[in-house]
């Protein structure tokens, strides 16, 4: 059997489970996950290796109506992530219902793509059979798909079928990445994303979109088996800084504890993590601040 390898662009509206599907298919977490919309801020490439194939997923931000320059940049990254791929996968949410937001994404991203198109109908574990039939029918009407596959990324249901549908559309050829590589994200970016994910998990509703993270310093002490990391968490207002720091520093300490627990196995060393919260006013609306933050 010939080896197949290629790129799969992953598109969909916010919070349908794109990153959860990619992580499940790769077998490792390469994209951070949150129930907050617009968690993914750039195209993340995750590599899923099989005995006769290699799928390189390009996980993109959720397409949405932008209200800030940050939102406009995120939408541009969807188009960039969907360009020059071999297969395009639209993810929809069976539990939330297939609706106008999905139709908007499909109308914007799918018509100009000439390659195979696959629709993954996610979160089927959260709906009853009659509702699932209805949502599968609605999904199939969004565009002309080569496959419509019901899946549950959290339960693993349907992922083998989804993988088969995606591999079918890939070209024959050699692996594009080393077979032990799961992502092409730089280490510093992966650290920033882990810290941001933990901050999203503990912050109140008014803070998440206003959080950005940057690694300021990182040094390894191999003799001590220790990595020292200094990170800045940027928010837009002093009140948000107070929320992230918490009373007596309790919140930022909890963020650091949760992040360190994930970073240590990722880096293979003990981690000393120094987190500082800073105010960068209205950074979502300031193009120069977005550039400074790498967004």
**What domains sit in the chain, N to C, each tagged with a CATH number?**
4-168 (3.40.50.300), 187-292 (3.30.300.20)
Write down the pLDDT at residue 94: 95
Outline where the chain has alpha helix (H). Answer: 18-26, 69-82, 100-109, 129-140, 159-168, 187-202, 238-245, 250-267, 287-292
Q: Specify the pLDDT at position 202.
A: 80
pLDDT score at 37: 52
Give the per-residue pLDDT at 178: 87
Residue corresponding to tokens 């948000």: 240
pLDDT of residue 138: 96
Specify which residues 53 forms β-bridges with.
4, 50
Q: Which residues of the chain have pLDDT under 70?
A: 32-44, 61-83, 204-209, 286, 289-290, 293, 295
d(CA 195, CA 214): 9
Looking at residue 275, what is its pLDDT? Answer: 94
Partners of 17 in the β-ladder: none
271: which 2 tokens? 């981690």
Return d(Cα 148, Cα 110) in angstroms, integer.
14
Report the pLDDT value the prediction gives residue 40, as an integer from 0 to 100. 55
The pLDDT value recorded for residue 22 is 92
**Given phi > 0 = left and psi -120 to 50 = alpha, else beta, which region is 265?**
alpha
- Residues shown for the chain: 295
**For residue 237, what pLDDT is reported?**
87
Angstrom distance (rounded) from CA 199 to CA 201 = 5
């Amino acid at each position: 059997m010939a080896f197949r390898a290629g790129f799969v662009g992953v598109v969909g509206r916010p919070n349908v489970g794109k990153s959860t599907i990619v992580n499940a298919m790769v077998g490792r977490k390469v994209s951070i996950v949150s129930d907050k919309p617009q968690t993914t801020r750039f195209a993340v490439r995750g590599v899923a290796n099989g005995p006769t194939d290699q799928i390189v997923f390009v996980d993109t931000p959720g397409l949405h109506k932008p209200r800030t320059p940050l939102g406009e940049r995120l939408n541009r990254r969807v188009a960039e992530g969907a360009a020059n791929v071999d297969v395009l996968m639209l993810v929809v949410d069976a539990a939330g219902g297939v609706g106008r937001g999905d139709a908007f994404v499909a109308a914007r991203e799918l018509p100009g793509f000439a390659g195979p198109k696959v629709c993954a109908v996610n979160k089927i574990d959260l709906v009853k059979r009659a509702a699932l039939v209805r949502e599968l029918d609605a999904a199939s009407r969004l565009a002309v798909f080569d496959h419509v596959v019901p899946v549950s990324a959290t339960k693993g249901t349907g992922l083998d079928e989804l993988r088969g549908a995606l591999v079918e559309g890939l070209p024959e050829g050699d692996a594009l990445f080393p077979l032990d590589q799961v992502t092409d994200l730089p280490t510093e970016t992966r650290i920033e994303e882990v810290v941001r994910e933990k901050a999203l998990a503990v912050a109140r509703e008014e803070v998440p979109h206003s959080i950005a993270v940057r690694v300021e310093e990182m040094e390894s002490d191999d003799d001590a088996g220790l990595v020292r990391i200094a990170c800045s968490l940027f928010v837009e207002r002093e009140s948000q800084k107070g929320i992230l720091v918490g009373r007596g520093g309790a919140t930022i300490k909890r963020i650091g504890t949760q992040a360190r627990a994930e970073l240590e196995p990722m880096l293979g060393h003990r981690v000393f993590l120094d987190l500082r919260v800073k105010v960068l006013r209205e950074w979502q609306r300031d193009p120069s601040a977005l550039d400074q933050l790498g967004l």
